Every structure is written in C-alpha cells, then in structure tokens.
Structure 1
Amino acid sequence: MLLSLVTMASPSTLLRIKLLPKPPSLFCALTNLRRNQLPLKSPFTTSSSTTSSSSKRHDDVVVLGIETSCDDTAAAVVRSDGEILSQVVSSQADLLAKYGGVAPKMAEEAHSQVIDKVVQEALDKAYMTEKDLTAVAVTIGPGLSLCLRVGVQKARRIAGGFNLPIIGVHHMEAHALVARLIEKDLQFPFMALLISGGHNLLILARDLGQYIQLGTTIDDAIGEAYDKTAKWLGLDLRRSGGPAIEKLAMEGNAESVKFSIPMKQHKDCNFSYAGLKTQVRLAIESKKIDAKIPITSASKEDRLSRADIAASFQRTAVLHLEERCDRAIQWALKMEPSIRHLVVSGGVASNQYVRARLDMVAKKNGLQLLCPPPQLCTDNGVMIAWTGIEHFRMGRYDPPPPAEEPEDFVYDIRPRWPLGEEYAEGKSEARSLRTARIHPSLTSIIQASLQQ
C-alpha cells in the first residue's frame, strides 16, 4: 500500500512534539484531535502511484533516533530494513556513582554537554550527514522532563534545519518494539514485560500503537530497588546497581535471608518494590553493614553477608516478577489466544538471572521468550530510531518544524505518559490515576485519530 498520505493532527494533539505557546489541556487534546491527510512534500512525494516506487522509498528510509529520557545520552542511525548503521551511547556513570542515583539537574547538564558530539558521532559512524536522513525520531516521554527537553531541542534543530519530518516516540513502546528489529518473525499480538529503573510494565501489544496495560508499578520499579540495594551494600554503581547486584549474588545464598514477596494478597498484575526495599534496608542494618566501606575493602565475613543479602533480594524481587508475569500471560491469552511470544526488555532485562527465570514462566505458558541483546535492553538510540520507522511507515509523523523557533515556546514533552489503556481486572485501587496521568495514553490518542 502506498504511503502517499501523511497523517497529521491539530496543533493541540499529543501525537506532536511541536512547540506550543501554552500546554494544551487534556480535554482539548482529546476533543480537538483529528486526522488530516495532506500530500507528502519533497523529498517524499512520489511521481507516480506505483507499487515499485513506494517499495523503493520504504527501502531507503533512514532515521536518526535520539534518546535522553534519563541518564544516558544516545543516538543511532537505522535503516528501514533493520540495518543498524551506527549506535552511540554516552553514559553518566560517574554521576551515578557520585550521587547514588540520577540527579535530574546534573543529568540535564551532562546531556547538554555531550548531545551534539553524540549525534555527530552517530552520523559519522553511519557515513552520513543530516541531508541523507529521511526523518528524525526522538523520545518525548515518559522520563525526566529536564532530560527529555535536551533531546527534543536537538531533534527539532536538526529537523528544522534540514526540512525533515519528526517523530515523537514513547520510550516504553520503543523498549517493546526493538524486539521486532532483532526478531523479524515477531508479529502482533505479543506479550511484553518492560522493566527498568523507572518502570515496571506488563502489556498486551495487539498492534502498533494499540496496547492494553495489564500491570504497572504502584510505587518503585524493580530497577530502583536494585540501585538502592546496591548503594546500601557499598557496591560500585558506575555500571548501575543491577549488574553489581547480579555479580555479587553469585557468591551468596539466596535462601539465607527470608524476605517477603510483595503483594502476595493482591491477585492482580501490579508491582510494588517499596516494601522490599525497606526489608533489605533493615536486614543490612541488622548485619551492621557499613555502605561507606566499599565491597572491595570488606572483610571475608562482611562480604559474605552482603552477598547473601544480594542473592536473597534478587530471588525475592524476581519471584515477584514471575508471579505477576504468569498471571498477566493468562489474562492476555484469554483476549488473544494466538499469542506466541513474551518480550522482556528494558535495562533490567539484561540481567541473566532475570532472563533465565522468566524463560521458565514463558515455557510454562507455551510461549517463547524474546529478549533483545543487552546493549539494546538499556536505553539506546536504536530503539527510538526503529520505533520511529515503524510509525513513519504508518504515516504517523509531523512535518518539519520551523528552522528557527522562539526560545520561550513550550516543548511538548510528557514526563508521565501511559502507554496503553488499563485492563479492567488489572486496575489497582492503590494508584491514583488522576494524579498519575498527565497525558492520555498513546493508545487512546491513536484510537481517537483513527476514528476521525
């Protein structure tokens, strides 16, 4: 089918990342959303309505992806056939170690210092210039607003300066869809568990942009629990807490400390790690472990105590994942019996213990586990570029922004942006959706646009 039309929306639609004089109200965003179809402008206009010309254009799509939602500054160039032409990531490992986590203002400054270099390096490694690109994709949410703004500003400067379409990407959707870049046979519908420092999300992916949220975190995400536990145990946080805990846990006894599995009494698919963090902190205090003494300087007995706590924490944290994931798969299979795959992605998905345990859950339910390679599980530009390509093919993108934009305009960034609509049985009374939802979900926006 020819992509000779581009799906456009009104200035207030939340599908756009356009600068706005005032942030649109949710009511206006939903009621004013409409779908206008306009002829594509150069360089995308086709001279004739032939299948071959359309196919050729799809083969030639090259997208620059920019990601700055948290503490990694990332950019990548990806071709529509799945070829990764370049990938560059600048880590803020030293800042993580210094502050024991992400400090938003410091993270913003770090992004600002390296964003130009990272993007240029991605272009250089792809042997391309901005003129060779088809479009620019950038994360607009969810994430830290200060950090998101850096990436959006850079993307808009490039798109405006070189007359390129721009695609606003949902960070968590990108984590799910990158599996389709790696596994060409992965078709909708599929299940996805997205686990990172800021998110725990169980979704049923019915189609591109069509997601049902089966479960989410009601407080802290698993990655946050890993990071805090690593900090309290005096581990090296330069690679984040997850890898440090996983490595130390190999030396410990996972049955030595009896932690309670969170939310056992709640028969839904939501997550909670705040209570487990408290249990871990109390266990560390009872063992009189001093986090100021790094693990490398700990005595043999002290190191073993830390290893036991790390192993016991990891076992309990992942058991919570397993239980929720198992129930979510059963719910999803009732809605979509044709599901064959469980995608596990996000930073925590690079943990080999997590993968092994969830592989057992998948096989128990007759599914195949799919995990992107570790470098594509953590935040990266490849997943943003690929998600941009997927939506570009559907005509979901914005026209080039102005070459110059007023400095006082407000960027459409969405720090708290749900991916899908909540499954009725999965709603949690512990969460206040009215305060948690700043923007309508990506799914609701796309559904509304299709009905216009």
Structure 2
Amino acid sequence: MHPYRTDIGILQVDIHAPWGGVVPKLAQEAHEAAMDSTVEQALQQAGVRPSDLEAVAVTVGPGLSLCLKVGVQKARQLAAEHGLKYVAVHHMEAHALVARASAPVAFPFLCLLVSGGHNLLVIAHGVGRYSLLGSTLDDAVGEAYDKVARLLGLELRPSGGAAVETLAAEGDDQRFKFSMPLRMRPNCNFSYAGLKTAVRLAIEAEAPGPATDANRQVRADIAASFQRVALTHLEERTRRAAAWALEAEPSICHIVVAGGVAANKLLRSKLQGVAKGIGLELVSPPPQLCTDNGVMVAWAGAERLALGLWEHLPASAADDAWVDVRPRWPLTDQRDSRSLSEPRSERKKGIHTSLTALTEATLCIHSAEQ
C-alpha cells in the first residue's frame, strides 16, 4: 500500500519534443497554466482541504529558476494563507529518499542518482546529510540517452531513455566497440561527453540521414552498443563506490539507485549483480517514482518535517515578489579525497550553501535550543 493518498502529475513532453529539449520559457508557461488546477485536483482526490494539512513541501532547487519560482510561489501562498509549515526540498534528495517510501531502507546507505541533469554517487548518512564519492565531469547519463535518442531519430515520448532502451533490445551490443569512459582513472567520477561523440560519428558513418526501416538494424546495434558502455560505466563506478562506502560506513546494508535512468531494466540487473557480489541489497523506487514526480517531493518533505527542518512563513509571504530558489544547489560539499577532481558542472555552483551544510547547521541550532 502506498504511503500517500494522491499522485497527480502533468507531463510536458509534447510541448518540448518539437524542440529536441526543454525550452525554459515554455516550461515556465506550462507550469503556470497547470499549477492551480493540479493542486486543486490533488486536494480533491485526497479528500482534504488546505487547512487540514500540516505542511507543504516544494522543490526549491536545483533546476530551472523560471520553473522553480512557479512552484515555490504557490507553496508559499498555501503555507502563508493556511498557516502551514513550509518545507524546502532539494530535488536530488527527493530522488534519494523516495526509495524509503516503499522499502525499509535504513541510514546509512549508498545511493546512485542518475537523471537527465545529474550523475552522483553519495553516501546518505541521514536526512539532509550526504558525502560525495563521485559525480559527472561533463554530462549526465540521462542527458546522454536523450542526445543519442535524437541522433538516432527516435520518438522522445515518453522519454529518450526509454526509446533507446527499446531499440537497443533489437541490437547487437558488441558490434560497435565504443571506448569505456575513464577506465584508467581509479575513482568514482563519470564522463559521457566522449561516448556521445563516438555515437554521433558512428551514426554519421553507418546510418546517415533519416531513420528508416532499411537502417533500423544498424541503428539498433548502435543503441545497444551505446547502452552497454553507458551502463557498464555506471556499474563499474558503483562497484568501486560500494567498496569506498563500506570503508567509511561498515553498517551500510543497501544500495539505492534513483532518478529517471533508474527505471532502465538492464541497469537494475547490472546493479543487482554488484549488490549481491558484496552482500548488499539493491533497492530502487517503482518505475513511476523514478522519473520526476510529486510523491518524492512530498516524501522528502515529510522526512524533513519530522526532524524539524521547516520554516514558518508570515501571512505577508503569500504576496512576496521575491522567492528563494536555488537553481545551482549542491547536495553536499563533503567529498571523498580520492575523487578530488572537480567536475566542470560544479565549478559554477558556488552560489548556494550545500544542503548538507544547511541541514547540519539547522540541526545544531535546534540541539542548542533544547
């Protein structure tokens, strides 16, 4: 039985598909058009009024600031008008914690977060407290899947990743010998930029032009070969990260894989082998909770609420023009010394204090007040 009463989601795939990627302004407009009706529908389906609630949780980052503002403004309005506690949620923590909604995953645990914008291997020490073992040096695996889907001329609905996975099932994953990223670097970081380039060159050489029935087999072979390398890269890094994690936290019992790419069946199979080989249990959310969804934000909000990690907003906050959004918000600044090379994507992220630092500071204040 699900620990939630309702799960309402609005998809924007059809809006962005013609453009080959997310268009921020269109995404903002779609958020604004759907926000009020979606919240109302969720309340009706759950059979509650806003005043019946204790708190409202909302993603404040990382992400596109235009879209984050729409959700944050609505959440602040609800909290201020109905006297609710306001819980700010980190998008990647929501992915990491939602596995605990359907399985008894205790802290600490190792977590592989794989999505369109993020590739992280972290130890989850507790709610809001993480240490980084590895992250992407350039592109995330989900972005690589989407790019390859476009190069192969695949339908991006419901996602590029699902389209590549389906086509790859028809192909020979040994036909194209794409190089394994970072094989000579014994750390837990990731890289997908080179693999994307290799796939593009293979398509230009072997299947140029539009996708047709005549070149479907070669495109399937390219998809399968890409997927073999992309997922083996995740598998190898996760195996090393598990060894590092057990050195730091010997009580770890679970590996959690979460994020949109976690719905990939082959990835789950590979990671099942990793976990079994070292005596750990692999846990992943149900596929519908791997992609972005409201349930994961609500669950993370409930976990943070239980620790007192919430804010009280004055009634005037409902009309505030300024809202706190954190488009570049690191999960943690605590990094294993063996993966010290700083990813390019993180060199620009010195804008917001990390979630881990903020959580530890807040818990310290709470402890001092008791």
TM-score range normalised by the length of the shorter chain: over 0.9
Q: Which residue of 2 aligns with 1:428?
A: 341
The offset of 1:96, in angstroms, is: 2.9
Q: Secondary structure at the match of 2:60?
A: strand
Q: Which residue of 1 aligns with 2:286?
A: 373
Counterpart CA distance in 2 for 1:439 and 1:449 is: 15
Q: Partner amino acid for 2:327? A: P
Q: Which residue of 2 aligns with 1:231?
A: 150
Q: Which residue of 2 aligns with 1:215?
A: 134
Deviations 1:113-163 (CA, angstroms, capped at 9, x unpaired): 111111111111101111111100000011111111111011111111111
User: Are positions 1:402 and 2:315 aligned together?
Assistant: yes
The offset of 1:429, in angstroms, is: 4.5
Decide which of 311, 322, 325 is 1:413's aligned counterpart.
325
Q: Size of the alignment, in residue pairs?
A: 364
Q: Partner amino acid for 1:193? A: L
Decide which of 112, 123, 127 is 2:43's aligned counterpart.
123
Q: Partner amino acid for 1:413? A: V
Counterpart CA distance in 2 for 1:237 and 1:448 is: 42
Counterpart CA distance in 2 for 1:403 and 1:259 is: 57
Q: Which residue of 1 aligns with 2:114?
A: 195
Q: Which residue of 1 aligns with 2:368?
A: none
Q: Secondary structure at the match of 1:89?
A: coil
Decide which of 316, 321, 326 is 2:234's aligned counterpart.
321
Counterpart CA distance in 1 for 2:14 and 2:312 is: 38
The offset of 1:385, in angstroms, is: 0.7
Counterpart CA distance in 1 for 2:118 and 2:26 is: 21
Instruction: Please identify the structure whose Cα radius of gyration is greater.
Output: 1
Task: Evaluate the alpha carbon distance shift between residue 401 and residue 281 of structure 1 in structure 2; reply closer, same or farther with a 3 A threshold.
Answer: farther
Task: Evaluate the alpha carbon distance shift between residue 432 and residue 288 of structure 1 in structure 2; reply closer, same or farther with a 3 A threshold.
Answer: closer
Task: Evaluate the alpha carbon distance shift between residue 434 and residue 307 of structure 1 in structure 2; reply closer, same or farther with a 3 A threshold.
Answer: closer
Q: Are the aligned partners of 2:77 and 2:319 in contact in 1 as well (CA < 8 Å)?
A: no
Q: Secondary structure at the match of 1:202?
A: strand
User: Are positions 1:139 and 2:59 aligned together?
Assistant: yes
Q: Which residue of 2 aligns with 1:444?
A: 357
The offset of 1:408, in angstroms, is: 3.9
Counterpart CA distance in 2 for 1:394 and 1:388 is: 10
Of all paired residues, the percent bearing the same amino acid is 53
Counterpart CA distance in 1 for 2:261 and 2:74 is: 28
Q: Partner amino acid for 1:96? A: H
Q: Secondary structure at the match of 2:42?
A: helix
The offset of 1:433, in angstroms, is: 4.7
Decide which of 90, 110, 113 is 1:170's aligned counterpart.
90
Counterpart CA distance in 2 for 1:413 and 1:435 is: 16
Decide which of 206, 209, 216 is 1:287's aligned counterpart.
206
Counterpart CA distance in 2 for 1:368 and 1:408 is: 46
Q: Partner amino acid for 2:97? A: L
Counterpart CA distance in 2 for 1:259 and 1:361 is: 22
Q: Are the aligned partners of 2:309 and 2:362 in contact in 1 as well (CA < 8 Å)?
A: no
Q: Which residue of 2 aligns with 1:43?
A: none
Task: Evaluate the alpha carbon distance shift between residue 405 and residue 83 of structure 1 in structure 2; reply closer, same or farther with a 3 A threshold.
Answer: closer
Task: Evaluate the alpha carbon distance shift between residue 387 and residue 430 of structure 1 in structure 2; reply closer, same or farther with a 3 A threshold.
Answer: closer
5 Å-filtered alignment, 1:22-61, equals none
Counterpart CA distance in 2 for 1:148 and 1:432 is: 19
Q: In proportion to residue count, which structure has more helix?
A: 2
TM-score, length-scaled by structure 1: 0.78
The offset of 1:400, in angstroms, is: 2.9
Residue segments in structure 1 that go unaligned for 5+ positions in a row: 1-80
User: Are positions 1:104 and 2:17 aligned together?
Assistant: no
The offset of 1:448, in angstroms, is: 2.5
TM-score, length-scaled by structure 2: 0.95
Q: Secondary structure at the match of 1:327?
A: helix
Task: Evaluate the alpha carbon distance shift between residue 275 and residue 328 of structure 1 in structure 2; reply closer, same or farther with a 3 A threshold.
Answer: same
User: Are positions 1:244 and 2:163 aligned together?
Assistant: yes
Deviations 1:260-302 (CA, angstroms, capped at 9, x unpaired): 1111121111111111110111011001432xx3x5xx12x30
The offset of 1:434, in angstroms, is: 4.5
Counterpart CA distance in 1 for 2:238 and 2:206 is: 33
The offset of 1:374, in angstroms, is: 0.5
The offset of 1:252, in angstroms, is: 0.3
The offset of 1:210, in angstroms, is: 1.4
5 Å-filtered alignment, 1:82-97, equals 83-97=3-17
Deviations 1:234-260 (CA, angstroms, capped at 9, x unpaired): 100021101100000010000011101
Residue segments in structure 2 that go unaligned for 5+ positions in a row: 366-370
Deviations 1:373-406 (CA, angstroms, capped at 9, x unpaired): 0111111111111111111111110003424555
Counterpart CA distance in 1 for 2:197 and 2:345 is: 22
Q: Secondary structure at the match of 1:85?
A: coil
Q: Are the aligned partners of 2:133 and 2:339 in contact in 1 as well (CA < 8 Å)?
A: yes
Q: Which residue of 2 aligns with 1:44?
A: none
Q: Partner amino acid for 2:79? A: A
Q: Which residue of 1 aligns with 2:176?
A: 257
5 Å-filtered alignment, 1:65-84, equals 83-84=3-4
Deviations 1:405-424 (CA, angstroms, capped at 9, x unpaired): 55542x21111111122122
Q: Which residue of 2 aligns with 1:204?
A: 123
Task: Evaluate the alpha carbon distance shift between residue 82 and residue 258 of structure 1 in structure 2; reply closer, same or farther with a 3 A threshold.
Answer: same
Q: Are the aligned partners of 1:96 and 1:240 in contact in 2 as well (CA < 8 Å)?
A: no
User: Are positions 1:309 and 2:228 aligned together?
Assistant: no
